């Protein structure tokens, strides 16, 4: 495992094979653990696919903590999420990537604050990039466009 890291996406076949080998190696320990669970609860039955189904939550409202240089209005506009609609975690992550792509933010995290069953407020905690970094990016972008259009570079 020392040869792999969280970035070893291209080695999935090798990692799966390595997992199978280690699983066989530790099978006796896994079996003993399973048997002890059955012994402690005679009514226990193994269930496949026992993870809950992916659920969507209706957004009742939003709140953003940490804004100093950008506005809540621009943040919400980039999210493309609507109050009263249902979203799952994958859709929220995609929306956050759109906001993060503005490069105005160093970090964006979120949490659900439940209101009623199946409903919640979506709360964002953000750390903005310093405004001078944004100004440098805009100036550089403007310079690159001028060079492209005027063939000066």
Burial of 122 (0-12, 13-18, 19+ CB in 10 A): buried
* 57-133 is classed CATH 3.10.20.310: yes
pLDDT tens sequence across 13-29? 888 898 899 999 999 99
For the chain, where do the domains classified as CATH 3.10.20.310 start and end? 57-133
Q: According to the model, what pLDDT value does residue 73 have? A: 92
Which strand (E) or helix (H) includes residue 144? helix 131-150
Q: What percent of the chain has pLDDT over 70?
A: 82
- In this prediction the pTM is 0.55
pLDDT tens sequence across 75-102? 999 999 999 999 998 999 999 999 988 8
CA distance 153 to 95: 36
């Amino acid at each position: 495992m020392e040869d792999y890291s969280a970035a070893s996406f291209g080695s999935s076949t090798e990692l799966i094979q390595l997992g199978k080998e280690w699983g066989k190696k530790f099978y006796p320990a896994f079996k003993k653990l399973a048997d002890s669970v059955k012994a402690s609860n005679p009514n226990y039955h193994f269930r496949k696919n026992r993870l809950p189904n992916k659920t969507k939550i209706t957004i009742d409202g939003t709140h953003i903590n940490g804004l100093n240089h950008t506005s809540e209005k621009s943040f919400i506009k980039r999210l493309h999420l609507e109050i009263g609609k249902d979203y799952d975690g994958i859709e929220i992550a995609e929306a956050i990537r759109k906001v993060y792509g503005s490069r105005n933010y160093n970090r964006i995290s979120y949490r659900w604050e439940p209101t009623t069953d199946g409903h919640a407020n979506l709360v964002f905690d953000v750390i903005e990039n310093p405004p001078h970094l944004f100004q440098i990016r805009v100036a550089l972008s403007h310079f690159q466009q001028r060079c492209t259009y005027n063939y000066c570079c």
